[in-house]
């Protein structure tokens, strides 16, 4: 490994320059030209969508390369020592003491076969018992022997993440790398974890790199933001400035894609998707999706430019970037709608465990009704009961006044046709051996019998789902995540349903893609007079898509009503805590 | 919780053993004519047939015959050998202990060796050593154990080198390990027959564990590679591999038949082949049940290991 720049003494905790990480053996450049300087005690947010190279960069800061990657070039000075060129033994001694890592999913990063105590003690060389207990108290966990004897699976998700935080801070490192540490946690837990991270950083004066895909989380926590796209830092600067006056078109679009909790601003998707590391364009990687792109952008790579003190961007058109939030328009829906689905006294079980208790809900025709709740609240079970996928329940569900049998096996073909379901994860809900054409037409053939002109129907629903006609012959693995979810929606639309149940349909997707899917669903709702049942854990998303909301907690509906009323004046304590704990930021210029 | 699971597995084992006993019993009923006819073959005279039928209780109703036989089994009375006239249990006990010694030595050598080799191969993923190990174990896995045995005999006792005896010469009445050299070839054959599967399974499981996030996290914590491997990786890989080890050990119980016959080793396998040749029905029945019992016990042991290495089971109340 060669360092292109001479090593200079520095006061920064972290000083990364010219960092390049490549694939092996493909030689695809995953992370390139990364420059990052972090002062002691500073928290820097690295924001990017999936595939932007942010996790690879985060691991690179500990001189750790996943299988199939290697540190190619550049320096990584931590406290003045270049971890990128040190021998393996030295690197190992720096880890945990100079730089520590907090993983995305503690459930899989904690060893299932080892006690919590063992995993904590080994960080400090099996000696300092007092330190183990001290750090546990600092992250607000019990420090008694019984707790230390537990196994990871005996802890809740939030406790597991606190253990991971404790493990990172036990050696009092100068630098902490946090890789999306709150993904998969409920908002309330997320808030507590973020508070813990902030407090721990200030106790130890540690600098931190906080990797996230979520602008709203980062906005609340960090001092500076570095936005990554396609392996490069495209914009970096003080958090307030980047959020208020982004100088890269990607940053601007990313900000406008974040759902607004207040529901004042329209959430806008970014069309297209990020290029894979194997097929990155010659010029600016964002040019194909950029509205400002000109000829030059497609064949010349923009260099890093200083915009203001400590604020840089890689864009030729940095001066022209504007954030122009457009006001959100409430879609026109029937003011006094008739009910299409009526659920009364529904109680559902999994085995002996009751997951829903006396649920009453009316879904209005042409409206979008959101089922809002955290993991384990029973929201997905309720949507599965509606679709006939979960039959172990009491109570009634009626469709246009006609009672629906519990199991989809007992429902008539027409009843099944009228309620369609879109699953959470488009990477699993599409059969990888079938083409888009087969996938979309299969349920139609089953539910409607012979179709006069299947090809016309196919092109029709693909167009409705904003998919290009030539995608019909592709297989799912030739599609991006957003395209897959559109295929799943097109498949549901092909049956011409009355009610479309969307189960967390955007949670496996990036923010920019999420916005496009929400736009699509809103358009379909208006054009086809479709009734939507939208299951989500994201209250900001509810504000932006639904007209009615039912808030679920522990299997009961605790609050139910029009979204505007519920969110402006939440009655139940649980709804209020969801509102309060959800991270948010107000984009400048929001009407 | 753990005890209850083990208890339940034990109960399953007993049920399976009971089912096996029915199958073994019915199989002897399916012999052409009747068992006495099949045993005596061409030497059957009406008097001898009648005598043997009496000895085998063939005149009684089927259920009665089975229950009498079952009662014998639970009281360890497997009847008398037709060939030697000795009680079957007395005949088999020395054979069983001989085979157990052979199997035990093979297991004690093969298991740690395979686990070490599989781990080593996984750690050197895609290197020359890994490819050689993979290729070699695949070839060994594809060869039947008697081919391996014959090859070893050619290599070490008759063809190339003349260092080991080609067959086992019984040195009654002393124990079989009085001349350890005689044990080398049968043991080596069994080791080479069972090891490849364990090596391959260990390699695959270890690769998966080494790619896991908790191993990555252990490395990111700055732990020495030794600790990462022995404390973080190995315990998580042992559970799945124990199942394969058990299957291989169970296979040994049947696999010894051919190997013992090849080396004329005085164990259950050799006794089984003998008994089949002599149409010694009570001995064949007894041995079939015994081999089934070994299968069940070994699998139970593997289940216990798998449960014990899984803290979720261990800590459940």
Q: Please report residues of B whose CB lies closer than 8 A to that of A96.
A: 220-222
- Interval B137-157 mean pLDDT: 89
Contact B219 A64 (CB under 8 A): yes
B48 pLDDT higher than 90: no
Residue A487: which of A517, A467, A509 has the closest Cα? Answer: A467
Q: What residue numbers bound the domain in which A309 lies?
A: 1-53+60-94+217-329
Do A232 and A380 fall within a single domain? no
User: Which pLDDT value is given to residue B171?
Assistant: 62
A107: confidence class by pLDDT, cuts 50, 70, 90:
confident
Instruction: Flag whether pLDDT at A6 surpasses 70.
Output: no
* Residue B170, pLDDT score: 67
pLDDT at A8 over 60: no
Peptide bond preceding B173 in cis form (omega within 30 of 0): yes
Instruction: Verify whether the Cβ–Cβ distance B213 to A67 is below 8 Å.
Output: no
Q: Mean pLDDT in chain A? A: 90
In this prediction, residues B130-135 reach a mean pLDDT of 93
Residues B309 and B302: their CA atoms lie apart, in Å, by: 11
**Averaged pLDDT, B59-68:** 80
pLDDT tens-digit readout, B255-301: 778 888 888 888 888 888 888 888 788 888 888 888 888 888 888 88
Which pLDDT score is estimated for A10?
A: 53
Q: Do A228 and A366 sit in the same domain of this protein?
A: no
Q: Which residues pair with A549 in a beta bridge?
A: A370, A561
Which of these three, A272, A305, A329, is where a domain ends?
A329
Integer Rg of chain A from CA = 25
Count contacts between A and B (CB, < 8 Å).
73
B218-232 per-position pLDDT tens digit: 999 999 999 999 999
Query: Where is average pLDDT lowest: A226-240, A275-289, A323-337, A488-502?
Result: A323-337
Smallest Cα distance from A381 to chain B, Å: 26
pLDDT value, residue A379: 93
| Inter-chain CB proximity A66 and B231 less than 8 Å | no
Q: How far apart are CA B118 and CA B203, in angstroms?
A: 4
Task: Write out pLDDT tens, residues A226-249.
Answer: 999 999 999 999 999 999 999 999
| pLDDT over threshold 60, residue A3 | no
Helix, coil or strand: residue B84 = coil
Q: What percent of chain B has pLDDT over 90?
A: 26
Q: Is B56's pLDDT higher than 90?
A: no
Cα B315 from Cα B82, distance rounded (Å): 53
**Yes or no, beta carbons of A151 and B216 under 8 Å apart:** no
Q: Alpha-carbon distance A489 to A502, whole Å? A: 9
Q: What is the pLDDT of residue A329?
A: 81
pLDDT score, position A5: 43
Number of domains in chain A: 2
Does any domain span residue A461?
no
Average pLDDT over residues A286-292: 91
- Residue B112: partners with Cβ closer than 8 Å, 6 or more residues away: none
Q: What interhelical angle do A436-448 and A454-464 show, nearest 10? A: 110
Asked if residue A71 and residue A29 are part of one domain, the reply reads yes
* Pair of tokens at residue A429: 């809900």
**Residue B311 pLDDT:** 81
Please determine, for residue A1, whether its predicted confidence score (pLDDT) is greater than 60: no
Of A95, A114, A151, the CB nearest to B221: A95
Per cent of chain A over pLDDT 90 is 66
Final residue belonging to a domain, choices A311, A329, A347: A329
pLDDT range class, residue B34, cuts 50, 70, 90: low
Q: Is residue A159 part of a domain?
A: no
Note whether residue A255 is domain-resident. yes
- The answer to whether position A376 is within a domain reads yes
Residue A90 falls within a domain, yes or no?
Answer: yes
What pLDDT score was predicted for residue A2?
41
- Give domain status of residue A195, yes or no: no
| Minimum CA–CA partner of B220 in chain A | A95
ipTM tops the 0.95 cut: no
Tell me: do A510 and A569 sit in the same domain: yes
Domain check: are A322 and A362 in the same one? no
Give the residue among B246, B280, B272 at the shortest CA–CA distance from B86. Answer: B280
pLDDT at B286: 85
pLDDT of B27? 81
Tokens 């299988």 correspond to A67
The answer, for A183 touching chain B at a CB cutoff of 8 Å, is no
Whether pLDDT at A333 is above 80:
no
**Of residues A92, A110, A151, nearest to B224 (C-beta):** A92
Segment A24-30 shows an average pLDDT of 86
Most confident residue range from A472-481, A485-494, B157-166: A485-494
Q: Report the alpha-carbon distance of residue A577 to residue A229 in Å, rounded.
A: 34
Is the pLDDT at A9 greater than 60, yes or no? Answer: no
pLDDT confidence of residue B84: 76
**A311 and A378 inside one domain:** no
- Which range has the worst mean pLDDT, A109-113, A209-213, B32-36? B32-36
Structure tokens at A352: 């002996």
pLDDT at position B191 is 93
Tell me what the mean pLDDT of segment A475-483 comes to.
89
| pLDDT > 80? residue B59 | no
Q: Are residues A343 and A317 in the same domain?
A: no
A240 and A376 fall within a common domain: no
* Same domain, residue pair A227 and A295: yes
Rounded to an integer, the average pLDDT of A466-477 is 91
Rg (C-alpha) for chain B, rounded Å, is 24
pLDDT of residue B45: 78
Using a CB-CB cut-off of 8 Å, the residues of chain B touching A114 are 231-232, 235
Q: Which of A329, A350, A379 is the last residue of a domain?
A: A329
Same structural domain, A286 and A380: no
Q: Are residues A398 and A520 in the same domain?
A: yes
Report, as an integer, the average pLDDT of A41-64.
92
Mean confidence (pLDDT) of chain B: 84
pTM: 0.84
Q: Do A111 and B213 touch (CB under 8 A)?
A: no
CA-based nearest residue to B189, from B286, B257, B279, B268: B257
Tokens of A12: 């920064």
- Per the domain annotation, does A435 fall within a domain? no
Kindly state whether residue A157 falls inside one of the protein's structural domains.
Answer: no
pLDDT digits (tens, 9 = 90+) for B68-119: 888 888 887 777 777 777 888 888 888 888 888 888 899 999 999 999 999 9
Chain-chain contact of B235 with A113 (C-beta, under 8 angstroms): yes
Whether residue A369 contacts residue A549, with contact meaning beta carbons closer than 8 Å, is answered with yes
A355 and A379 share a domain? Answer: yes
Question: Is A66's CB within 8 Å of B219's CB?
Answer: no
């Amino acid at each position: 490994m060669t360092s292109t720049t001479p090593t200079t003494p520095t006061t920064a905790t972290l000083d990364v320059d010219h960092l390049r990480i490549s694939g092996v053996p493909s030689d695809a450049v995953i992370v390139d030209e990364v420059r990052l300087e972090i002062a002691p005690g500073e928290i820097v947010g690295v924001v990017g969508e999936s595939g932007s190279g942010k996790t690879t960069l985060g691991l690179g800061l500990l001189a750790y390369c996943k299988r199939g990657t290697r540190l190619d070039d550049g320096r990584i000075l931590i406290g003045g020592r270049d971890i990128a060129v040190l021998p393996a033994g030295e690197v190992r001694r720096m880890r945990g003491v100079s730089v520590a890592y907090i993983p995305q999913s503690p459930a899989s990063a904690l060893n299932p076969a080892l006690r919590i105590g063992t995993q904590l003690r080994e960080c400090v060389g099996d000696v300092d018992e007092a330190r183990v207990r001290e750090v546990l108290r600092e992250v607000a966990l019990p420090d008694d022997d019984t707790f230390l004897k537990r196994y990871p699976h005996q802890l809740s998700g939030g406790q597991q993440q606190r253990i991971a935080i404790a493990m990172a801070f036990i050696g009092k490192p100068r630098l902490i790398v946090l890789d999306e540490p709150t993904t998969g946690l409920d908002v309330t837990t997320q808030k507590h974890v973020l508070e813990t991270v902030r407090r721990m950083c200030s106790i130890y004066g540690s600098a931190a790199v906080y990797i996230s895909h979520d602008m709203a989380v980062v906005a609340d926590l960090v001092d500076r933001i570095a936005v990554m796209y396609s392996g490069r830092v495209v914009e970096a600067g003080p958090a307030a400035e980047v959020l208020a006056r982004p100088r890269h078109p990607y940053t601007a679009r990313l900000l406008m894609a974040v759902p607004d909790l207040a529901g004042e601003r329209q959430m806008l998707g970014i069309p297209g998707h990020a290029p894979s590391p194997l097929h990155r364009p010659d010029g600016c990687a964002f040019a194909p999706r950029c509205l400002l792109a000109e000829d030059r952008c497609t064949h010349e790579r923009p260099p890093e430019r200083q915009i203001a003190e400590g604020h840089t961007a890689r864009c030729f058109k940095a001066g022209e970037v504007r954030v122009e939030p457009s006001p959100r328009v409430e879609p026109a829906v029937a003011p006094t709608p008739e009910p299409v689905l009526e659920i009364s006294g529904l109680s559902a079980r999994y085995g002996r465990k009751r997951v829903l208790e006396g649920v009453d809900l009316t879904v209005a025709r042409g409206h979008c009704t959101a089922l809002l709740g955290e993991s384990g609240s029973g929201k997905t079970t309720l949507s599965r009961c509606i679709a006939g996928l979960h039959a172990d329940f009491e109570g009634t569900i009626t469709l246009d006044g006609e009672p629906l049998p519990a199991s989809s096996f007992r429902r008539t073909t027409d009843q099944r046709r009228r309620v369609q379901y879109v699953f959470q994860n488009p990477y699993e809900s599409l059969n990888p051996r079938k083409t888009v054409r087969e996938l979309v037409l299969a349920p139609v053939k089953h539910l409607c019998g012979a179709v006069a002109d299947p090809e016309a129907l196919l092109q029709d629903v693909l167009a409705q789902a904003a998919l290009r006609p030539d995608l019909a012959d592709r297989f799912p693995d030739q599609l991006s995540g957003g395209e897959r979810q559109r295929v799943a929606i097109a498949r549901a639309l092909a049956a011409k349903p009355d009610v479309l149940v969307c189960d967390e349909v955007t949670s496996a997707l990036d923010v920019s893609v999420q916005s496009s899917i929400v736009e699509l669903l809103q358009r379909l709702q208006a054009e086809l007079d479709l009734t939507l049942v939208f299951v989500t854990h994201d209250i900001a998303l509810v504000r932006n898509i639904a007209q009615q909301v039912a808030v679920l907690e522990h299997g009961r509906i605790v609050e139910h009503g029009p979204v505007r009323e519920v969110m402006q004046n939440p009655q139940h304590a649980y709804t209020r805590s969801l509102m309060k704990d959800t991270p948010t930021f107000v984009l400048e210029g929001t009407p | 919780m753990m005890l209850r699971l083990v208890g339940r597995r034990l109960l399953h084992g007993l049920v399976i053993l009971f089912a096996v006993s029915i199958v073994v019993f019915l199989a002897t009923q399916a012999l052409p004519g009747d068992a006495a006819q099949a045993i005596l073959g061409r030497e059957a005279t009406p008097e001898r047939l009648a005598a043997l039928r009496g000895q085998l209780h063939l005149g009684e109703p089927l259920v009665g015959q089975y229950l009498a036989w079952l009662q014998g089994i639970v009281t360890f009375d497997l009847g008398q050998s037709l060939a030697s006239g000795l009680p079957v249990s007395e005949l088999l006990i020395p054979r069983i202990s001989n085979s157990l010694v052979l199997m035990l030595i093979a297991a004690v050598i093969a298991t740690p060796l395979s686990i070490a080799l599989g781990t080593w191969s996984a750690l050197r993923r895609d290197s020359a050593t890994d490819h050689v190990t993979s290729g070699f174990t695949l070839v060994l896995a594809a060869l039947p154990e008697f081919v391996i045995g014959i090859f070893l005999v050619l290599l070490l006792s008759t063809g190339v080198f003349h260092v080991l005896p080609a067959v086992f010469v019984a040195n009654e009445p002393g124990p079989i390990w009085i001349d350890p050299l005689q044990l080398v070839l049968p043991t080596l054959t069994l080791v080479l027959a069972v090891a490849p599967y364990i090596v391959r399974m260990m390699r695959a499981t270890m690769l998966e564990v080494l790619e896991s996030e908790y191993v990555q996290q252990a490395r990111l914590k700055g732990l020495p590679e030794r600790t990462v491997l022995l404390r973080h990786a190995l315990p998580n890989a042992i559970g799945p591999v124990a199942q394969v080890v058990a299957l291989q050990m169970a296979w040994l119980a049947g696999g010894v038949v051919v190997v013992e016959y090849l080396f004329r080793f005085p164990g259950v396998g050799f006794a089984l082949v003998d008994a089949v040749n002599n149409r010694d029905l009570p001995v064949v029945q007894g041995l079939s049940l015994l081999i089934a019992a070994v299968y069940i016990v070994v699998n139970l042991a593997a289940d216990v290991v798998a449960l014990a290495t899984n803290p979720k089971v261990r800590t459940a109340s």
